[in-house]
Amino acid sequence: MLAQFLRRFLFLTAISLMVVWVVSELAYRLIQGDTARPPKTIELVIPLGTAERIAAGEPPLEIPSEMIFVVGDTLLVVNQDRVEHTLGPVWVPAGSSASLRLDTANDYVYTCSFQPSQLQNITVKQSANWKSRLAALWYGTPPTVMFLLVYSLVMFPLKKKEALSSKRKTQT
């Protein structure tokens, strides 16, 4: 009976590992987009004359209104303008550069001085790397195994030893 249970448990564990891997991989591809990459430094350049354009009610040049990062990326803000600029916690005096490491996955709406709306959307996503894939397996597999095990025990109860032996006898 115990051997039968262990065999079933191992079989369902293998099935669960495959199911969780496939589901998490599909989820990554659907939700994460282009985040299957190691962290890197992403440069945001504030061109000369940006403050003047904003004051005139014109959109800034070459600055996206939304930026997507992965956890561990570094945002490097290069201020080429004649005046200081701020982006949320990042304050960059004129003609200098400041960088911030993005450590927490979240959707941020930062106040900023170089967008006409005074707001900048920054999305930080969890990177789809081998660590997050292992984490998905680590957290997803045990409940899947338990679910399948309970389901299989209800639908296909383990056979008692006598029942098994009598079945074998009738077969022979």
User: Which residues in this chain contact another protein in the complex, by CB under 8 A?
Assistant: 84, 86, 88-91, 93, 96-101, 103
From the CB of 120, what's the least distance to another protein, in Å?
15
From the CB of 38, what's the least distance to another protein, in Å?
14
Contact assessment for residue 18 and residue 11, using Cβ atoms and an 8 Å cutoff: no
* Residue 96 or 165 with smaller CB distance to another protein: 96
Residue type present at position 7: R
From the CB of 96, what's the least distance to another protein, in Å?
5
DSSP conformational letter for 48: T
Tokens of 119: 């707001």
* Residue 47 or 88 with smaller CB distance to another protein: 88
DSSP conformational letter for 125: E
CA–CA separation, 73 and 44 (whole Å): 13
* Residue 27 or 55 with smaller CB distance to another protein: 55
